[in-house]
Amino acid sequence: MSEYINIFFIILRRDLMLAFRNKAEFVNPLMFFIIVIVLFPLAFGSDSALLKQLTSGIIWVTALLATTLSLETIFRSDFEDGSIEQFTLSRYPLTLLVSAKILAHWITFGLPLIAISLFTGFILSLPNQTIVALCITLALGTPVLSLIGAITVALTIGLRGGMLLSLLILPLTMPVLIFSMLAIQNATIGQPISAEIYFLAGILVLAMTLAPIATAAALRIRLS
Amino acid sequence: MSQFKVIQLECIRRDNILFQGLNFSLEDGGLLQIDGVNGSGKSSLLQMCSGLIQVSEGEITWNGENIIDCRYQFQSDISYFGHSNGVKAGLTAIENMIVMHALAGNSSRINYSAILEQIGLTGMEDVLSSRMSAGQKRRLGLARLFMSKAKLWLLDEPFNALDKQGKAVIERVIVQHCSAGGIVIFATHQTMEIDGYPLQHIHLGNEQ
């Protein structure tokens, strides 16, 4: 067992190290996230009532788009330099190694994304309870995005055209968006949001359990 | 005693039959060279042997069991080295070796510098592999052979990009591994300079 924990952390550390040495890869999607959010006040005027209603939705949709951008690179270099072959043929389950890679992706992308959303929420003067709901839904939702994204990236790896990836990921993430927006709307009008939170947590557990298995299977198919 | 056996194997790629009815069997100490022209199926054969590509017709067994049925046991017994080196450009030589070592499931302590010295990368511990030449990257990739506990080595064109001296080092390791009871299958069209060790040959393709 400790052997498995050990290899998990070695792969996690490897991926984090690679991410910090090649910062553009994860900083660019985050910059994209910030810039797109900033575009909306410019388009609608910063004090319009319409904007206030839309802000949390804008943040969530932009988060989805930015995730799609950031996910593209999760397996690409490993596929090109033969690391995936070595992972697949190692004595450890590919599912475990893939989980470590997905966690590394979430740490370098999901976590900063939540922090930035908190910050932009304040700048765009959202009410406090809305900001709290936004952060909770993002904390539960972004890991789901990384997990579901990993499956589709594994399926499309080596194929040309990044558009296909977006077309596959975005429909699959709709349930997360729906429950998150419901939670945020309810929080804004002072209603309890536990039901939506439980649903999101349920989706997260489901994705955590199944997505690594599906990703590993997809990678095996792509290699053969 | 381990036994690697290929029975009536067939390989079809893009509607072409590359080879058909291929049989061979290797036991402890077996050394097999696969040669043939480009596109004759050398890499495909090695990928099938490793389990990366599914076998459509025929069977591959390890100690009498189909390799698909005993996948994890089989995978802990093999070390596969393909066309790509499996070396990460963003990591240094040592960091790459730590990952290779961990993936090989080898828990014993290892002197990384000594291995680097053996493969002719002395003093390059902290050099990013993106700064290395093609041959140096290949050598670093082959470092996994020095850390592997695996019994069966599957090497696809191990001498690519290597100079004469590098080739000699790898030839020596291969013979050492076989003498110690290991099994090596490798594909190359270069001539092996191995003296005094029985080398089996398989020639793929029609051209004789």
ipTM entry: 0.90
Residue to test with chain A: of B44, B67, B70, B75, most A Cβ within 10 A: B75
> In whole angstroms, what is the distance from residue B31 CA to residue B200 CA?
6
Token pair 């890679």 in the structure block, residue: A101
Number of residues in chain A: 224
Contact list, A92 vs chain B (CB under 8 Å) = 103, 105
pLDDT band, residue B206 (cuts 50/70/90): low
Q: Is B89 on the interface with A (CB under 8 A)?
A: yes
Sequence-separated contacts (24+) of B138-143 with Cβ below 8 Å: B138/B85, B138/B162, B138/B166, B139/B166, B140/B85, B140/B87, B140/B93, B140/B96, B140/B97, B141/A82, B141/B81, B141/B85, B141/B86, B141/B87, B142/B81, B142/B170, B143/B96, B143/B97, B143/B100, B143/B115, B143/B116, B143/B119
Q: Most confidently modeled of A164-178, A196-210, B136-150, B181-195?
A: A196-210
Instruction: Report the pLDDT value the prediction gives residue A161, as an integer from 0 to 100.
Output: 62
Q: Is B12 on the interface with A (CB under 8 A)?
A: no
Token pair 């009498």 in the structure block, residue: B64
Q: Residue B199: which residues within 8 A CB-CB, separation 6 or more?
A: B31, B32, B33, B192
Instruction: Report the pLDDT value the prediction gives residue B2, as an integer from 0 to 100.
Output: 86
pLDDT at B208 over 60: no
> In whole angstroms, what is the distance from residue A45 CA to residue A51 CA?
8
C-alpha distance from A192 to closest chain B C-alpha (Å)? 47
Token pair 């952390």 in the structure block, residue: A9
- The residue type of B91 is L
Domain at B3-204, CATH class: alpha beta
C-alpha distance from B53 to closest chain A C-alpha (Å)? 4
Whether residue B88 and residue A93 make contact (CB cut-off 8 A), yes or no, is no
Q: Is A87 on the interface with B (CB under 8 A)?
A: yes
Query: How would you write the pLDDT of chain A (224 residues) with one tens digit per residue?
Result: 788 999 999 999 999 999 999 888 889 999 999 999 989 888 888 777 788 788 888 999 999 999 988 888 888 889 888 899 999 999 899 999 999 999 999 999 999 999 999 998 888 888 889 999 999 999 999 999 999 999 999 998 877 766 888 888 999 999 999 999 999 999 988 899 999 999 999 999 999 999 999 999 999 998 87
Q: DSSP labels for B30-49?
A: -EEEEEESTTSSHHHHHHHH
